[in-house]
Structure 1
Amino acid sequence: MNRHEFLRGIHRVYRPRTYLEIGVNDGRSLALSRVPSIAVDPAFKVVTSISCDVHLVKQTSDAFFARKDPLLHLRPGRNPFRALARRDPLGLLGADPRLELSFIDGMHLFEFALRDFMNVERHARWNSVIVLDDMLPRNVDEAARDRHTGAWTGDVYKVAEVLRRFRPDLLVVEVDTKPTGVVAVFGADPSSTVLKQNYDAILAEYVTEDPQDVPEEVLARKRAVAPEALLGAGFWSGLVRARNLSRPRSAFPGLRRQIERVTG
């Protein structure tokens, strides 16, 4: 299963009401969305039909998140097609919309991907789903910061290690998608400042010159779960229910255990 098939599956089982994409490129992943969406890319070249109400942002993700109200497009009353109202007839999203599904596929350098995660998390909930692309390089050359291969992941794989080390409250799941894997993150906490407080120290430790020292467990995908197994698991209905009923974060540990039974 490739990344687009996996994303299509998440849209199906999680049924997000809002969607954010960082790194649009030709629009193939954005074309999967049917809900109010924001897509950010300083040089997108969309050649695919789009079937959602989308705000295409021709900016870097840093510049986008520096806006006073980056999620303005998702606010009720700001949507000319009222797609949000149709998807949320009971007003469960409230006046302060949150990002329910986010796909990060921007600049393939560790510090950019980490910042993208930090910015997305600030606008998410604990029951949101954040997916990062190109997290499982197949060899050291693909993981180079200085691109010299066709397929290129850069060193964004390090984000998973940093999240596990500094944010054990999150559940970080590596998924064995073709060709270069993704990571799904559950349990976002928009109030957390741990990454922000440690950002400079993290960069000083993790931004290193090529060749990158890619752990064998990453190259061999030892932790990666089959995408079919994750999508077919039973926890999704509970996650959707918790989201729709605005259940507090105290509900996450139970759902986390359900997810961990799938991921090992």
Structure 2
Amino acid sequence: MKRHEFLRELHKVSGNRNYLEIGVNDGRSLRLSRVPTIAVDPAFKVVTEIRCDVHLVKATSDDFFARDNPFVHLKGGRHPLRNLRRGRRPLGYWRRTVLDLSFIDGMHLFEYALRDFMNIERYSDWTSVIVFDDMLPRNVDEAARDRHTGAWTGDVYKIAEILARYRPDLVAVPVDTQPTGQLVVFGADRRNTVLRDRYEEIVAAYDVPDPQKVPEAIIERAGAVAPAALLGGGFWRPLARARALGIGRSRGWEALRAAVSRVASGG
């Protein structure tokens, strides 16, 4: 399954009510959205019809996240609320934006992708779905930090190891999409500051000169899940229901974690 086919189906099964895309390029992935969307790219050149309520932001992702209330354009952005189900909030109460589905396909260097994830997680919840693109380079040249090939993933593949090492509380599922794979992350926790606290340490450890020593498991796609298997997982409907009902992490995450892990392990 090609990456855009997978993303199209992911929009359907995830039940997302909003969408964030980092890295727009010509709009081929953006056109898959049908929900309120924010798309960020310093040099986008959209050449396809967009069929959603979209706010296109011409900026780097770092500059975008540095803005005051960057998600004001999304439904549920910062605005006063009245008569919430659990009672009235005092005047001046603002609802926190929660991103349902986010796609990271910006600068193809691990430290940029890591910062994007850290920033996105601040606006995410355990029912959010975060997708990294270009996670399974096909050869060492394609994975170089300094681009010298047509097709280029850069060293974003390192994100999988970083999350496994520093954030074992998450479930990160590599997906065998064509041409260069993706990583779908579940269980975001905006309260977790490990990556922010240890960011400089992580960059120092993983920023190494070319040629990159890409693990054979990455090149051979060992452990990558078939796209159809993940899309067909029985956890999507409960995930969307928990999101709609506002079920807290303590009540829902462990069951979702177990269900996603079973699919990821081929169970």
Q: TM-score, normalised by structure 2?
A: 0.92
**Match for residue 253 of structure 1?**
254
**Per-residue Cα deviation, 1:44-83 (whole angstroms, up to 9, x for no partner):** 000000011111000000000000111110144889xxxx
CA distance in 1 between partners of 2:220 and 2:77 (Å) = 48
What CA distance in whole angstroms lies between the structure 2 residues aligned with 1:214 and 1:249?
35
- Contact 1:75 1:96 (C-alpha < 8 Å) held by counterparts: no
1:71-105 CA-partner distances (Å, limit 9, x unpaired): 110144889xxxxxxxxxx9xxx832211000000
The aligned counterpart of 2:70 is 70
Q: Which consecutive unaligned segments of at least 5 residues does structure 2 have? A: 80-84, 86-93
CA distance in 1, matches of 2:126, 2:141: 35
- Give the 3-state SS of the residue equivalent to 2:141 in structure 1: coil
Equivalent residue number for residue 134 of structure 2: 134
Q: What letter matches 1:67 in structure 2?
A: R
The whole-number CA distance in structure 2 between the counterparts of 1:95 and 1:115 is: 24
Residue 186 of structure 1: aligned partner: 186
Alpha-carbon separation, structure 1, partners of 2:4 and 2:70: 25
Q: Which amino acid aligns with 2:255?
A: G
Please say if residues 77 and 97 of structure 2, whose CA atoms lie closer than 8 Å, have aligned partners that are also in contact: no
**Secondary structure of the equivalent of 2:246?**
coil
Corresponding residue number in structure 2 for 1:82: none
**For each residue in 1:112-165, what CA deviation from the matched residue of structure 2 results, as whole angstroms up to 9, or x when unmatched?**
010001011111111100000000001110000000111100000001100010
CA distance in 2, matches of 1:147, 1:252: 39
- Give me the whole-angstrom Cα distance separating, in 1, the residues matched to 2:143 and 2:43: 23
Percent of aligned positions that are identical:
66
Number of the residue aligned with 1:232: 232
The letter for the 2-side match of 1:198 is R
Match of 1:49 in 2: 49
Within a 5 Å distance, the mapping from 1:31-110 to structure 2 comes to: 31-76=31-76, 95-110=95-110
1:158-169 residue pairs with structure 2 within 5 A? Answer: 158-169=158-169
Separation of aligned partners in 2, 1:112 and 1:8: 25
Greater mean alpha carbon deviation, residues 48-57 or residues 242-251:
242-251
Q: Secondary structure at the match of 1:239?
A: helix
Following superposition, the deviation at residue 14 of structure 1 comes to 1.0
Name stretches of at least 5 consecutive residues in structure 1 with no aligned partner: 80-89
RMSD (Å) for aligned C-alpha atoms: 1.6
* Contact 2:77–2:96 (Cα < 8 Å) also in 1: no
Task: Report the Cα distance in structure 2 between the residues aligned to 1:105 and 1:196, rounded to whole angstroms.
Answer: 20
Contact 1:75 1:95 (C-alpha < 8 Å) held by counterparts: no
CA shift for structure 1 position 238: 1.1
Q: Is the 8 A contact 2:71 2:97 kept in 1?
A: yes
Distance 2:145 2:242 in 1: 39
- Contact 2:69–2:78 (8 Å) recurs in 1: no
